[in-house]
Amino acid sequence: MPTKNKYLKQILLWRYKYISERQFIYVLSILVGLLAGLGTAVLKNLTFFFEEVLEGKFIKDFHYSLYFIFPIIGLILVFYIKKRIIKKEIGHGISTTLHAVSKRNGIIEKYKMYASLITAPITVGFGGSAGLQGPAVSTGAALGSYVSQLFHMNTKTRMLLIGCATAGAMSSMFKAPVSAIIFAVEIFSLDLAFASLVPLLLASVSAVITSYFFFEKDALFGFKLVDAFQTKDIFYYVILGFGTGVASIYFSKIYFKINNFFKKIKKPIHKLIIGGIAIGIMLYLIPPLYGEGYGFINNLLNGNTAEALSDIPYKVDLNNIWIVIGFLFLIALFKAVAMTTTFAAGGVGGIFIPTLFMGSALGNLFAKIINALGGNVSESNFTLIGMTGLMAGVLHAPLTAIFLIAEITGGYELFVPLMLVAAISFAFTKYFISNSIYTIELAKKGELITHNKDKNVLMMMKINSLIETNFKPIYPEMLLGEMLKKAVAKSTRNLFPVINKETQQFLGIVLLDDIRSIMFDTQMYNSVAVETLMKSAPEIIFYNDSVAQVMQKFKDSDAWNLPVIKDEKYIGFISKSKLLTAYRKKLIEVTN
């Protein structure tokens, strides 16, 4: 440790001497991008390793019968890793990262640098119906936070490096550096100014280079656009936009309902048993739900519907278009259920890829219905745009949806329907569900980062840092003379909290101005008690109030000092002057 600190100190001294702050941020953004890309590569390789082992020659003969058991084995392994090795809750990648940004000044626990790297590949590799994007972001963000702390960067730079790590993870996962930047800006509400754009670009490019180094030119979606956009299909795209909007609402509602159901189950092992069995049954009956589902998506994109449904065990005629449409509908319907159950049972994964999976199934079945009824539309194009609609609706990230699908498939010629469907799906979903799955819990608590700087600054401030405790408390039974001797004479403040001596319950206040006319009348020292002098505080601040609520209470009451109550007990005061000073300091720290 001393040697490590010695070298780090030398690096920091060299940096202060030869490199400007902006140049050093560029260097760190490249480093963070490389680390995020490396983490994503490890994540994907481990997952592919588990999938390859479970698809081996020995196992493959029994593979269908093992669709039921593999996910349960994976969940049991993850359960014991979390309980015996990590010993902490991992959480869902992007949601927990957003919480760290909004309430912890971007400080993320070190164990999250490796927690998802271990558990997500096991969850997904063993068939858990989840994605890897969330764990990749979680790992990258933790690495970005650690790098910023290691080099003593300020809060604003730490936030930026977390955004760089997020862009890096996205860029490495999909080989889509442009949409990766848009994703970081859209999800983490970063300012797209020159000061932040260059680091994001550097991180995104360094990450995608890392991905090419490990995976060469292999892409998750092996598809190139063939069919051009036809203006005659616009009406169908409008319907698809509303359809994906309805599906997005269904996806979100199912996610919340299943999570709420599992929250009622107190013991994790019981969640594992119930969830594991439910997942096993779903995968046994509908095998395409197994794992992330890249193969399924690619087969639909390339027109290989029979191959996409080849694992279905029933003896059905896949040449019958309506049977195929029925199975695609079931797959889309149960993907959200299988994914959420995987999480609720203790699995670790993300929701990003499942939205693409469900969107591809919906887009494809919609095109098949049109063609079966006598129309003539491109099934691959509708599959792509179905993915866009679900992503825009479920994730509330329409720009990411548009650019990601265009970038990873070379489908820039489809920009018009991409924008149309994304806009309709996003607007329709937003009307019914105001926040995405990522942000719903933070929004309920008023802790969601937005592009509103004033709101963000208030949210990042902590109430405990504003509380002043150098007020002399007095008690209602005290006489005036005792109050003057024990409180007024020994205090530098002109306000005195009145509290219950035994319970420390706050009762009221006495202002120096209120007793100034009698404080020198010695005849009243032994005849007037504090309880006759005290009055109610103009407003009460509760310890769990947000700083925004505190600011509003000062505005409504026009007071300069307000008492703070925690568990019905007095703990101190907050002054308007200290609040405004702290706000100004945080504003400079965050926006300078």
Q: How confident is the model at residue 332 (pLDDT cuts 50, 70, 90)?
A: very high
Taking only the tens place, the pLDDT of each residue in 487-525 is 888 888 888 899 988 888 888 888 888 788 887 878 788
Taking only the tens place, the pLDDT of each residue in 21-34 is 788 888 899 999 99
Cβ density class 428-442: b for 16+ within 10 Å, e for less: bbbeebeebbbbbbb
The SS3 assignment for 525 reads coil
Taking only the tens place, the pLDDT of each residue in 401-437 is 898 888 877 667 888 899 999 999 999 999 998 877 7
Structure tokens at 319: 């040449």
Taking only the tens place, the pLDDT of each residue in 93-104 is 677 777 777 667
pTM of the model: 0.78
What the chain holds in terms of domains, given with CATH numbers, is: 2-215 (1.10.3080.10), 231-445 (1.10.3080.10), 456-591 (3.10.580.10)
Mean pLDDT of 335-353: 89
> How far apart (Å, rounded) are the C-alpha atoms in residues 117 and 515?
66
| DSSP string across 441-480 | HHHHTT----S-HHHHHHHHS-GGGT-B-----B-TT-BH
Mean pLDDT of 205-220: 74
Provide the angle, in degrees to the nearest 10, between the axes of the packed helices 234-263 and 379-395.
Answer: 40
More confident residue, 203 or 447: 203
Full 3-state SS string of 348-367: CCECHHHHHHHHHHHHHHHH
Q: Is 70 exceeded by the pLDDT of residue 242?
A: yes
The count of residues in the chain is 592
Contact criterion met (CB below 8 Å) for 384 and 405: yes
Q: Is 70 exceeded by the pLDDT of residue 456?
A: no
Q: What angle do CA 333, 262, 286 make, to 5 degrees?
A: 30
Taking only the tens place, the pLDDT of each residue in 293-329 is 888 888 888 888 888 887 777 777 778 889 899 999 9
Contact criterion met (CB below 8 Å) for 160 and 196: yes
